[in-house]
């Protein structure tokens, strides 16, 4: 008689606890990275700040680079940051308004990850891959937004689609956000409105 195969046991409560622990680690790491810089923070320090054992932290993430990669993945997967929201709009001005809000929220959440990736990707192979994928996704989102504008006849006359992609890619990047909000102390609301007005003028000629 053959023994019955062992059933895989999946507990929703156990999964929820694991997700909560993972978010706890990411939150602790983000706070430490923002306050002390990526290079100065150690895995034991992250464990201590999260109130967890070092073994538990290593169970979820082998290195700091893995933690940064997970932070980037969470930002990319956020539904409220998806370019699909822009693609669902039909009026070019409403598309620009929606896009400005998405870019603001994206940069509010991603400036730290972008700073870490930009500064450390040359010294870590994993971070280099994360940085390359981060840039690729940013460019792809810019292309999709411009294509949606073009499909609705919203692009400014005489503006080539490739140039429009470059303009949006630059405007939406963390460099502009860092300069205006974090360095020049613009409010996020002012930054969002500036993006909207500039985007309307440069991309749709409104």
Predicted confidence (pLDDT) per residue in 12-33, tens digit:
888 999 999 999 999 999 999 9
Environment class of residue 75 by beta-carbon count within 10 Å: exposed (0-12), middle (13-18) or buried (19+)?
middle
Among 169, 145, 16, CA closest to 84: 145
Please list the ranges in the chain whose pLDDT falls under 70: 1-10, 121
User: What's the pLDDT at 48?
Assistant: 98
**CATH H-level, domain 12-62: superfamily:** Homeodomain-like (1.10.10.60)
Buried b (16+ CB within 10 A) or exposed e, 145-168: bbebbeeeebbbeebeeeebbebb
User: What's the pLDDT at 3?
Assistant: 46
Domain assignments of the chain as residue spans, ordered by start: 12-62, 73-204
C-alpha atoms less than 13 angstroms from C-alpha of 182 in its C-beta half-sphere: 15
The enclosing H or E element of 195 equals: helix 188-199
User: What's the pLDDT at 121?
Assistant: 66
Candidates 3.40.50.261, 3.40.190.10, 1.10.357.10, 1.10.260.40; CATH matching 73-204? 1.10.357.10
**3-state SS record for 4-58:** CCCCCCCCHHHHHHHHHHHHHHHHHHHHHHHHHCCCCCCHHHHHHHHCCCHHHHH
Length of the chain: 206
């Amino acid at each position: 008689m053959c023994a019955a195969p062992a059933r895989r046991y999946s507990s929703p409560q156990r999964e929820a606890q694991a997700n909560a622990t993972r978010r706890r680690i990411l939150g602790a790491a983000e706070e430490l990275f923002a306050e002390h810089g990526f290079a100065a923070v150690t895995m034991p320090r992250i464990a201590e700040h999260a109130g967890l054992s070092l073994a538990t932290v290593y169970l979820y993430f082998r290195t700091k680079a893995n933690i940064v990669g997970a932070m980037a993945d969470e930002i990319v997967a956020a539904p409220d940051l998806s370019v699909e929201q822009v693609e669902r709009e039909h009026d070019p001005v409403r598309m620009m308004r929606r896009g400005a809000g998405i870019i603001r929220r994206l940069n509010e959440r991603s400036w730290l990850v972008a700073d870490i990736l930009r500064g450390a990707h040359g010294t870590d192979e994993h971070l280099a891959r994360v940085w390359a994928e981060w840039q690729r996704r940013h460019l792809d989102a810019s292309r999709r937004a411009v294509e949606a504008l073009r499909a609705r006849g919203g692009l400014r006359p005489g503006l080539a689609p490739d140039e429009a992609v470059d303009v949006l890619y630059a405007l939406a990047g963390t460099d502009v956000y860092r300069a205006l909000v974090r360095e020049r102390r613009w409010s996020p609301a002012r930054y969002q409105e500036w993006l909207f007005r500039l985007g309307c003028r440069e991309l749709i000629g409104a």
